Structure 1
């Protein structure tokens, strides 16, 4: 109960701030997105290496900030930018004596959602509402899964990766995500609603893949939480793992002419 109360209080503080930043946009929004991305890189490096003061973290952070600012100013990232990013991260991984696959995964884990969220907000008509709609789906999936899993219980979905997740929680979360996804789509004036109902299911389930992926990384390195920056929630990665997977998908769908 104490942990649940902390989660609720933290959400009551963070949600109004997050919504205000999304609605107003501008550099304040971009700076917060990039700051969160740097914190995600920090948590990733702490999980996978036990330390963050490495050339790898510094290079990753500087590149994410540079590419994020480039997206804010130009609305695009070129293939040359991606090649430079890959080569710089590989070199930094070599200097840090870190596994190349983990280095690249961590870089893109923080970079792609940041670019997606900046592009959606600044270069898509009604992008602020698209971001809020997608976030409502992820939040609803998490909330529904939490309470359905606690109330119903039943068979575990993936006991070796995330022992607390149940199939009942997955179904309960998906149902709530569809309901809130359709309701919020109607509120924002998105049409047709049947398309957003289908998209709500897909994004809700994909957000759970993001949740399980983060849990798998923590399990591999025997870490319970990615951090302790958010009372009741753990680290930044613990709170936004679903969003990190969902936002690039939404951006790609809209970018290719939805």
Structure 2
């Protein structure tokens, strides 16, 4: 517990100022987190971090995270989609060159990882560029939902939500976490007028959607950890696991914020 608390305090001391500053310092941190997250998947798959497939995956996640404006000045590219396709093609080509060591399933897993991690962190950075109140809306929903689910689950949780994936989670905790988020986040934002262009009802609906989505993101990451037989995605954050362990919900919530028009 002591290690967990110390790690959380140090992480907040580094993370919060960069979140407030935004711009390129936050972009650098976001790119680093994206590369570390991909490296965690590579380790789960027992892949060398200096292999050709690892290098392609790192370039791919960086390309997707970078803001769209970056690519407008690159001749013949204009979009991260072009780079992503080229890298996915090279991963497929690798299956032919070293077919005994790297197969189609490996290429598919790394391509999906680039998309999953890269898109999540791309919209995390984009949310912050819209203002601190916007990115904090998504983050508060995730944090409060997680805390509420833990407290309610410990108190009255009996019915398992997904016993084969995450045996400690319960339906009572899941529902309770979303209820707590819905009761706190929209009211906070209306009281302090943090997102004045949205009505209370809009914030209420957004909170419901994002709270449920965040819990799905948690289960998704738990699912592939189960698949690879690991407890944590990594150990870069002592007591907390890896980057994927800490940002699993965010990687789903942030793109969904763009889909529902909050980052538009």
TM-score (norm: length of structure 2): 0.85
- The RMSD of aligned alpha carbons is 2.4
Q: Give the distance between the partners of 1:134 and 1:211, measured in 2 at CA.
A: 14
**Alpha-carbon offset, residue 141 of structure 1:** 1.1
SS of residue matched to 1:112 = helix
1:221 lines up with 2:223 in the alignment: no
Q: Give the distance between the partners of 1:137 and 1:35, measured in 2 at CA.
A: 24
Q: Give the distance between the partners of 1:217 and 1:245, measured in 2 at CA.
A: 15
Unaligned stretches of 5+ residues in structure 1: none
Does the 8 Å CA contact 2:134/2:195 hold for their aligned counterparts?
A: no
1:27 lines up with 2:27 in the alignment: no
2:93 alignment partner in structure 1: 91
Alignment of 1:188-199 (within 5 A): 188-190=194-196, 191-199=198-206
The structure number with the bigger radius of gyration is 2
1:239 alignment partner in structure 2: 246
Does the 8 Å CA contact 2:141/2:181 hold for their aligned counterparts?
A: yes
1:42 alignment partner in structure 2: 39
Structure 1 residues 3-30: Cα deviation after superposition (integer angstroms, max 9, x where no partner): xx54444333323432322221111000
Q: Give the distance between the partners of 1:27 and 1:72, measured in 2 at CA.
A: 13
Q: Which of 126, 132, 136 is matched with 2:136 structurally? A: 132
1:249 lines up with 2:227 in the alignment: no
Alignment of 1:155-170 (within 5 A): 155-170=159-174
Structure 1 residues 204-245: Cα deviation after superposition (integer angstroms, max 9, x where no partner): 111111111111101111111111121221111111100011
Greater shift, 164-173 or 71-80, is seen at: 71-80
**Alpha-carbon offset, residue 91 of structure 1:** 3.4
1:104 alignment partner in structure 2: 111
Query: Which stretches of structure 1, 4 residues or more, deviate above 4 A after TM superposition?
Result: 92-96
Greater shift, 19-28 or 90-99, is seen at: 90-99
**Alpha-carbon offset, residue 78 of structure 1:** 5.2
Does the 8 Å CA contact 2:235/2:241 hold for their aligned counterparts?
A: yes
**Alpha-carbon offset, residue 72 of structure 1:** 5.7
Inter-CA distance 34–91: structure 2 relative to 1 (3 Å threshold): farther
1:73 alignment partner in structure 2: 70
Q: Give the distance between the partners of 1:143 and 1:37, measured in 2 at CA.
A: 25
Does the 8 Å CA contact 2:257/2:263 hold for their aligned counterparts?
A: no
1:142 lines up with 2:139 in the alignment: no
Q: Give the distance between the partners of 1:197 and 1:149, measured in 2 at CA.
A: 23
Structure 1 residues 11-62: Cα deviation after superposition (integer angstroms, max 9, x where no partner): 3332343232222111100000000000000001111235433211111112
Aligned residues: 251
Q: Flag the structure with higher helix content.
A: 1
SS of residue matched to 1:64 = helix
